[in-house]
Amino acid sequence: MSRKTPTGEPAMSIVQKELFLRETLTDLLQTIPPDRTPCWGRMGTQHMVEHLVDAFRMANGKDVYTGIFTPDERLPKMQAFLRSEQAFKEMTKIFCSRTSRFRLGRPT
């Protein structure tokens, strides 16, 4: 049985995800007009790209954050959610580091 995304589509394999990140994502991001109105949530184009860069920098160890903003008793549930394919609810309030030194992936 193959895994499905929240929309019912087949989940991508690790290889497919890597190919998407390496070969497709940048091209897709460059097609988004900077003044595009958000279709979901509150982040504009610039904020969304900065948020993505922050996530990549944390994932690859270039930025290390030691503070945990989730109460200890909620950590197991939060970690399970983050490892799942479950989608965030629209307009979910989440912590954004806003510490990125990058704008659209270029040092400033």
Inside any domain, residue 89: yes
Bigger pLDDT: 10 or 28? 28
* Domain boundaries, position 63: 32-107
pLDDT-based confidence at residue 93 (cuts at 50, 70, 90) = low
Across 38-42, 65-69, 87-91, least confident range: 87-91
Number of folded domains in the chain?
A: 1
3-state helix, strand, coil in the chain (%, to 5): 40, 5, 55
Inside any domain, residue 101: yes
Inside any domain, residue 87: yes
What three-state secondary structure class fits 103?
A: strand
User: In the beta sheet, which residues pair with residue 10?
Assistant: 4
Burial class (CB in 10 A: 0-12, 13-18, 19+), 52: middle
Inside any domain, residue 24: no
Inside any domain, residue 20: no
Inside any domain, residue 15: no
Is 102's pLDDT higher than 80?
Answer: no
Q: What is the mean pLDDT of the segment spanning 31-50?
A: 86
What three-state secondary structure class fits 78?
A: helix
Q: Where do we find the tokens 């998407």? A: 20
Inside any domain, residue 96: yes
